[in-house]
Amino acid sequence: MARICVDMDEVMADTVAAHIHRYNHDFNENLRAADLDGKWLWQVVPSDRIDRLSAYLDEPDFFADLPLMPEAQRVMERLSAEHELFIASAAMEVPRSFNAKYRWLQQHFPFVPQSQFVFCGTKAILHADYLVDDNPRQLRAFTGKGLLFSSPHNVNVDAGAHGWTRLADWLAVEAFFFS
C-alpha cells in the first residue's frame, strides 16, 4: 500500500476549462485550452484583464461548480480501495475557496474521508510516496515521487529531466498504479 496525494485543481477538477468559460463569456472571446500551449491563462490574456481573471477565483460559486476530469471519480475510488489516498490542494493560494472546495470534494468524492483532505500552502510539507499534480512548482517542493498530470500550461515541461513521470490523464494514472 502506497500513500498517494492527489491535487484538486486541473487534476481532479477541470479548473482551467471553467476559468476559460467565464473569460470567454465576459469578454466575448473564443479562447480554447489548447491555445495556452505551455502558458498559464494569465500569460495569454491582455494585461488589463488579469484583475478580472483573478476575481473569478473569489466568486463563491467558482470552485463549487467545477467540472470533473474524465474518469477521475472511478480511478480515485479504485485507488482508495488499495492505497492510502489523500487530496492535497494548495488552497492557501485562494483562501476564499476553502468552503466551496470542501463541498465539491464531499459531493464528488464521498469515498475519501475528510480526514484525508489536506488544504495547504506549499506541498513540501506532504509526507507521501507519490504526488499527482499539474504544477511543476509543487512537484519540485515535494520530496516523494512526482507524477506530472498533463495540463495545457505544462505541455512543454520535460518531466523526465526532473525525475517525474508524466501522466496524460486519469487512464494513465490508473495504468501507472495498476499495471
Q: Of 119-148, which residues contact Mg ion (CB under 5 A)?
A: 134
Q: Does residue number 14 form part of the binding site for Mg ion (CB under 5 A)?
A: no
Give the SS3 label for residue 6: strand
List 9, 14, 133, 134, catalytic entry: 9
Report the nearest approach of Mg ion to the CB of residue 132 (Å).
9
Sheet with 165-167, edge to edge strand ranges = 117-119, 84-89, 3-6, 130-133, 145-149, 165-167
How many chain residues touch Mg ion (CB under 5 A)? 4
Report the nearest approach of Mg ion to the CB of residue 113 (Å).
21
Nearer residue to Mg ion within complex by CB, 7 or 14: 7
Report the nearest approach of Mg ion to the CB of residue 11 (Å).
6
9 a catalytic residue? yes
Rounded distance between C-alpha atoms, residue 127 and residue 142, angstroms:
8
Other Cβ atoms less than 10 A from the Cβ of 146: the count is 22
Q: Is 71 left (phi over 0), alpha (psi -120 to 50) or beta?
A: left
Positions that interact with Mg ion (CB under 5 A): 7, 9-10, 134
**Which residues are identified as catalytic?**
7, 9
